[in-house]
Chains A and B, each alone.
Chain A
Amino acid sequence: MLDTTRRVATPEGIELTLRLAGPVPRALAWSIDLLIRLGIVALVMMLAAQFGRAGWGVVLIAAFFVEWLLPAWLEATWGGQTPGKKLFGLAVLNDDGTPVRWPGALTRNLLRAVDFLPFLYGIGLATMLLNRDFKRLGDLAAGTVVVYRGEKSTGVRQIPKVTPVPPPVPLTLEDQRAVLELAERAQTLTAERFEELASLPSPLVGQLQGQQAAVRLLGMANYLAGKQ
């Protein structure tokens, strides 16, 4: 069992699986956001330069908003994502899997000040490693998690079609699933590797080797999947 998933029970009586994001993608997303924030402030600086010292006041106000409120605003209005998070496919959600809203987004972003201590998110990293949901202190207080959105499918993997063959022995559900998953991966493996793997379950393929074992196992997969 992977321990980087989190199960959330919904009112419909099912459990949804969230895939939690660890420190590394989050740090990368943060550095992208930092670059964007610096870029915005630099832009404001260039525009404000012509207003002399009053312009510096505008720059400071912009720096304040960009540093403290912009990330919270983006997370609250943009499906829990900042540009950096979007780039890395991350999103902030409430603990119950619902989209984060203003109070939660603001809580976690204000508390970045303490996660940042003593330098470069030292406390935040330590906290993330100490709890099973990769939460920094801001996430703990806000009741939020950072997850992979994973909206895009990895591409539908098809079981190669061969004549269905019933397995010679009854299979448990786990065994059935293992056979199905191997068959689904057939096209992403080299033929040699797939044949090698297919020869291993001797109760199913007996003494068959290589190509024959592969075809036999695919046939069972087709049978288990209910193909005609």
Chain B
Amino acid sequence: MRQAPFEATHTAEWEAFEQFLDGPKKPPFDPAEMPARFRRISQHLALAAERHYSAELVDRLNRLALRGHHALYVNRRRESGQVLDFVLSGFPRLVRQEWRLVAAAALLFFGPLLGLITVLQIYPDFAHYLLSPSQIASYHSMYDPANKRLGMREADTNVLMFGFYIWNNVRIGFQTFAGGMLAGVGSAWFLGANGVIIGAVAGYLVHAGFGETFWSFVAGHSALELTAIVLSGAAGFRLGLAVIAPGNLSRKAALVAAAKPAVRMMYGAALMFFAAAFVEAFWSPLTEIPYNWKIGVGIGAWVVLLAYFLLAGRARAAR
């Protein structure tokens, strides 16, 4: 069959399909016919290409088939139920599944953090290698026991700090994750660097005698925030590992396969960062709450969080 009769025979069908894709107006045929009609148009495209009809016609059919492909294979799965499912079981299971990477990230982050707190009690001057005098001065003012509000300057408000924590902390988490693409080096760097800075500040303030105000401020949100950084790093390592050791896959395929669990982990980490920012802005600065209470809540948060990651979702996995 030559091109002109081919076009003449099928144009009406193509136009009907185009009209169907175009709009919400009343469809020219029963939507149930759509897959069958799409298969016919696919066949027309194959025929037109095989018979070397003009590029114009082949392009037109390609466009039509591509749009049909989009319409047919768009995944309209509802995801509202999945969010709760993810929080209750999917996320902790994912973290347990990736426990090696989480442990490596935790070591890189908590190692320097705890190490520096210890070292600075013995050699306090070492802090001056890590923090500039202006940084030290600003931490002095933020954690002065005479403050009515902790962790912020007097003029700042909770809402401002909430915005700042979201903008800054979640960004750090996302950067830690994205850095994993550079063979994991970026994640390792962000984990280590943040561990060093936090450790230096904590060690310095504790030595300077501001320990009570400092712990009172950080206790509440520390569990959520520090764990979220570690998980961001672990997600980054998942990507980095795919680049370094793709196994039986090509690097590209390994990366695509690794991105799925890695991004799922980032969903969880981002939620934790948001929650931490909320606690950090509205609970942590309070001085009305007794010190013991704040420390108790902080320890409680760590216990609950560890229990969540160790235990949640096990029943569902066994089912």
Contact = CB atoms under 8 A, between A and B. Distances in A.
A10 B69 contact: yes
B65 A14 contact: yes
B159 interface: yes
A225 B2 contact: yes
A133 to B, nearest CB: 10
B27 interface: no
B177 interface: yes
A9 to B, nearest CB: 11
A114 B63 contact: no
Contacts of B45: 14, 16
A17 interface: yes
B75 A58 contact: no
B54 A177 contact: yes
Nearest to B5: A226
A64 B175 CA distance: 13
B52 interface: yes
Contact of B75 (A52, A56, A101, A151): A101
A158 B164 CA distance: 61
A83 interface: no
B30 interface: no
B208 to A, nearest CB: 28
A226 B1 contact: yes
Nearest to B281: A57
Majority SS of interface residues in chain A?
helix
A114 B75 CA distance: 29
Contacts of B63: 150-151, 153
A93 to B, nearest CB: 8
Interface string A77-110: 0010000000000000001011101110011001
B186 A114 contact: yes
B74 interface: yes
Interface size class of B (residues with CB under 8 A): 35 or more
Contact of A16 (B62, B158, B178): B62
A14 to B, nearest CB: 4
A142 interface: yes
Interface residues of A, number: 56
A208 B8 CA distance: 33
A110 B263 contact: yes
A84 B178 CA distance: 24
A108 B162 CA distance: 27
A157 B255 contact: no
A109 B52 CA distance: 40
Contacts of B182: 114
A184 B56 contact: yes
B317 interface: no
8 contacts: A10-B65, A12-B42, A12-B43, A14-B42, A52-B157, A61-B166, A177-B53, A225-B2
Interface of A: 10, 12-14, 16-18, 52-54, 56-61, 63-64, 68, 79, 95, 97-99, 101-103, 106-107, 110-114, 137, 140-143, 150-151, 153, 156-157, 173-174, 176-177, 180-181, 184, 224-228
Q: Which 5 A-B pairs have the closest CB atoms?
A: A226-B2, A57-B163, A60-B163, A113-B178, A57-B159
Given A99-B73, A114-B179, A184-B54, 16 more contacts: A53-B157, A54-B158, A54-B160, A56-B163, A57-B161, A60-B163, A60-B164, A98-B73, A110-B174, A110-B263, A111-B178, A113-B177, A141-B239, A141-B256, A177-B55, A180-B54
